[in-house]
Amino acid sequence: MRFNPLVWLYEFIFPSCCCICGNPTDAELICSDCLNDIRFIYPPVCKKCGRPVNDTDEICDTCKENPLDIIAIRSVAMHTGVVRRLIHELKYNNKRKLAQICAEFMSRILEEDARLKACDSIVPVPLSRTRLRERGYNQAELIANHIAKITEKNLLNVLKRIKHTQAQANLSRKERIENVREAFVADNKVNGLRIIVIDDVFTTGSTLNECAKALYKKGAKEVYGLTFASAI
């Protein structure tokens, strides 16, 4: 590659640094130290929510006590430490490039899980107009766009949030369920499709589940969830 003095000058003035901790990197978005601190989720996992379980358990106690309409949810890592900071930077500090990192890891899960790989399309969880106006972008849609390019799955923006809901972060399980109840509608394009709903974080599953209900009402055949992070 020919030497480009403008590129050299730019990199000298603005050296590459980790989007999480700020340490210098060799053009990577996340440094090796931060990557090594990610708590990835490995089998065995609950067949419903995708969280770690004992070897003898197929479905965790939480899923048995609180059954979901969505068929299954898979996540890349636990929502702690580096992952929590990554999601925060992506959502609230305009670090949109981090959506690509999330998508790369999530695409691996998609390709490795036979149920997800067999799906026709991916659908991002929508934001309300108010929150989209405040933030300027939908992090779930950014992630979904990258996943669509990596996996060559169809990207469908067929969900609409029809009521402005409270931020879910500080709500109890019961409050989360009530907060997003009937918050979404889907259009008829989903009839007969196997769909993966994309979001950044899975906590109780209430948001993903309400999205699944809306998609089922319009004739979706199967609905799964895929997120980057899963809360403990």
Q: What is the CATH number of the domain that holds 111?
A: 3.40.50.2020
This prediction's pTM: 0.88
| Nearest CA-CA partner of 130 in 98, 162, 175, 90 | 162
> Does residue 224 contact residue 209 with C-beta atoms inside 8 Å?
no
Residues 132, 29: one domain?
Answer: no
What is the per-residue pLDDT across 77-131, written as a single tens digit (0 to 9) for each?
999 999 999 999 999 999 999 999 999 999 999 999 999 999 999 999 999 888 8
Record the tokens describing residue 141, joined without a space. 């849609």
Residues 50 and 154 in one domain: yes
pLDDT on residue 168: 61
Do 5 and 84 lie in a common domain? no
Range of the domain at 198: 40-230
Average pLDDT over residues 139-155: 98
Q: Report whether the peptide linkage leading into residue 44 is cis, meaning its omega lies within 30 degrees of zero.
A: yes
Q: How many domains does the chain have?
A: 2
Angle CA(31)–CA(34)–CA(36) in degrees, nearest 5? Answer: 105
Angle at 161 (CA atoms; ends 138, 214), nearest 5 degrees: 120
